[in-house]
Chains A and B, each alone.
Chain A
Amino acid sequence: MTVFLCIDDNRGMLFNNRRQSRDSEVINDMLKTASSSVYAHSFSEKYLSTLSSSFTFSDTLLEDKKDFCFIENLDIAPYLSSIDSVILYKWNRDYPFDVTFDVDLKAEGYRLENKTDFAGSSHDKITKEVWVK
């Protein structure tokens, strides 16, 4: 499995059950990276379905070990054994948070394979990190 996640400077993911931020360029990059349909939880449906028809929604996407999963509201820690690659999009911003991404990728045996910056549609600099096992 390859998992896509967005985090802020505090490794925050959500605040008040809402995504911290959004950027259409992140979604475009994600779809470009994935060679097939990207799966997402129903939490993300309202947002993603307005941007692209390339997403498939399922609440058991991690249990079902879908190839490409965009995760906004789930803890991936229990599924690490099935996750070969984690792609982090960093907002390079400080947002409020009450849910964080707590997986220490290095400690879990992942290595940083690639790191690139790109401009978003509403963010000056988004950093994409590709972590692989």
Chain B
Amino acid sequence: MKNRKRRFALVLAISLLSLSLLLSGCDEFLDSLLSDGSSFIPEVVTTTAETTTTAEDVLSEAFETTTTSKATTLATTTKKTQTSAGVPAYSGKPYVALNNNEPAFTQGDMTTTGFETYATLDYLGRCGVAFACLCTDLMPTGKRGSISSIHPSGWKQQMYDFVDGQAVYNRCHLIGWQLSGENANERNLITGTRYLNTKGMLPFENMVSDYIKETHNHVLYRITPIFDGDNLVASGVQMEAYSVEDDGDGICFNVYCYNVQPGVWIDYKTGENHAEDTVTEAPKTVKKAVAKTTAKKTTLAPVDTKDATYVGNRNTKKFHKPSCASVKQMKESNRVFFYCQREEVVSQGYVPCKNCNP
């Protein structure tokens, strides 16, 4: 009996010792991950194993997150989701530079062997990081195929007369077709607005594509869709690229493209959307190419604006003069009353209404 007790005490002591060593070891490991490495880009935040990649949960102000994907086959599962925290609010430009346009590739990522990798969908059916070393070999040689069979997370299509092509959402390639020739790959298609697709991402895809065609060089290229929490629609997309043979002299960028559609309010949690600042009859969900839907305005009662200087919409982040028609149409719960100068409202991330020009 005594021996058994001693043995138990010994086992317990060894276990506690092992646990403390393990924990201190973990700290060191985490520290080493988070410290500046010798690479030209600061931090490696993700685990590297060929089986798992974790994405940083919250992006720092400089947005200096990285993923490492040395493996040519990426059997990745995104355990956490990147969020758009730290990214400036949308202010009318389709993209914004991150970390002074320095992408976060490591020296170990540099290669002149073409590859493309796509993360597996997460438990909500959302895409993760797409990473490639682009080159002429990966570019399409045939005609573009249909991608309509894919319904990315948050796919709640609606048509608006004021949207180019009417459809608010596009099946938005992470790695564009002109770069990879990837058609109906569910790991490469997200629900993106027309604006994200054509004004945000396409110019960068054009630049990379034309550079590769002209030089036959390789370009490291990583696209990270950024989801806030459990949202089904990405808030935006981080695009990083770096030309290998000329050390970034030709192509070097790190940008965030906003997944917004001017004039359309989007519920990123579900993908539902409606015309901004209007009370609408819910537009009909579109199955295929469908007739136009026109938002119908209703007449609303005057609003007590409480002598505020400006009235903001906490959802759309627009602000208005108290007399603006949009104020009447705004949900009461979305109204924010400002009693300050215009500059202060703007500094809080609100953008002026284009109708009343506050």
**What is the bound-complex CA distance between A43 and B231, given in angstroms?**
45
Do A15 and B202 touch (CB < 8 A)?
no
Tier of interface size on chain A: 10 to 19
Would B101 and A16 count as touching, CB distance under 8 A?
A: yes
Contact B206 A95 (CB under 8 A): yes
- In the complex, which of the residues B198, B210, B251, B253 has the most CB atoms of chain A within 10 Å of its own CB atom? B210
Q: Are A122 and B251 in contact (CB under 8 A)?
A: no
Closest A residue to B198 by beta carbon equals: A94
Interface string of B51-71 (1 = CB under 8 A from A): 000000000000000000000
Per the bound structure, the CA–CA distance linking A91 and B209 in Å amounts to 13
Q: Which residues of chain A are within 8 angstroms of B253 by Cβ–Cβ distance? A: 15-16, 96
Cβ contact of A96, chosen from B198, B204, B210, B211, cutoff 8 A: B204
Cα distance A8–B81 in the bound complex, in angstroms: 36
Would you call A96 and B203 a contact (CB within 8 A)? yes
Query: By the criterion CB–CB under 8 Å, are B210 and A18 in contact?
Result: no
Closest Cβ–Cβ distance, residue A91 to chain B (whole Å) = 8
Cross-chain pairs A/B with CB under 8 angstroms, 9 sampled: A15-B207, A16-B252, A18-B249, A18-B250, A21-B214, A22-B211, A22-B215, A95-B207, A122-B210
CA distance A21 to B202 in the complex (A): 14
Interface size on B, residues (CB 8 A): 20
Tell whether A23 is near chain B: CB-to-CB under 8 Å: yes
At the interface, is chain B mostly helix, strand, loop or mixed? helix
Known: A18-B251, A95-B206. 14 other contacts (CB 8 A): A16-B97, A18-B249, A20-B207, A21-B207, A21-B211, A22-B210, A22-B211, A94-B198, A94-B202, A94-B206, A96-B203, A97-B203, A98-B97, A122-B213
Known contacts A15-B253, A16-B252, A18-B251; A122 and B214 CB within 8 A of each other: yes
B contact residues around A23 at 8 Å (CB): 210, 214
Interface assignment of A123: CB less than 8 Å from any CB of chain B: yes
Binary interface encoding of chain A residues 74-111 relative to chain B, with 1 for a CB under 8 A from any of its CBs, else 0: 00000000000000000101111110000000000000
User: Max chain A CB contacts within 10 Å: which of B206, B249, B250?
Assistant: B206
Contacts of A16 in B (CB 8 A): 97, 101, 252-253
**Interface presence of B95 (CB below 8 A):** yes
Complex Cα gap A16–B215 (Å): 19
Supposing A18-B249, A21-B207 touch, asked if A96 and B255 sit within 8 A by C-beta, the answer is yes
Q: In the docked arrangement, what's the CA distance between A110 and B317, Å?
A: 44
Tell which of B97, B203, B251, B252 touches A94, judged by Cβ atoms closer than 8 Å: B203
Known: A16-B252, A18-B251. A24 touches B206 (CB 8 A): no
When C-beta atoms are compared, the residue in chain B nearest to A121 turns out to be B214
Residues of A close to B213: CB separation below 8 A: 122
Tell me, yes or no, whether A32 is within 8 Å of chain B by CB: no
List of A residues within 8 angstroms of B203 by Cβ: 94-97
> Which residues of B approach A to under 8 Å, CB–CB?
95, 97, 101, 198, 202-204, 206-207, 210-211, 213-215, 249-253, 255
Chain A residues proximal to chain B, CB less than 8 Å? 15-16, 18, 20-24, 46, 91, 93-98, 121-123
Chain A residues whose CB sits within 8 angstroms of the CB of B210 once the complex forms: 21-23, 91, 93, 122-123
CB-CB nearest 6 A-B residue pairs: A122-B213, A122-B214, A16-B101, A96-B203, A95-B207, A94-B203
- Please indicate the chain A residues that have their CB under 8 angstroms from the CB of B214 in the complex: 21-24, 121-122
Query: How far apart are B196's CB and chain A's nearest CB, in angstroms?
Result: 14
Q: How far is the CB of A6 from chain B (nearest CB, A)?
A: 12
For the complex, what is the distance from the CA of A18 to the CA of B215, rounded to whole Å? 15
Contact status of A93 and B251, CB under 8 A, knowing A16-B97, A21-B211, A24-B214: no
B residues near A20, Cβ cutoff 8 Å: 207
Q: Evaluate contact between A93 and B206: CB separation under 8 angstroms.
A: yes
- Residue among A96, A98, A121 making CB contact with B207, cutoff 8 Å: A96
Task: Please name all residues of chain B whose beta carbon is closer than 8 Å to the beta carbon of A91 when the two chains form the complex.
Answer: 210
User: Min CB distance, A13 to chain B, in Å?
Assistant: 13
Please give me the residue from chain A that is nearest to B102 by CB atom: A16
Q: Kindly report which residue of chain A lies nearest to residue B201, judged by CB atoms.
A: A96
- Please give the distance in Å from B209's CB to the nearest CB on chain A: 9
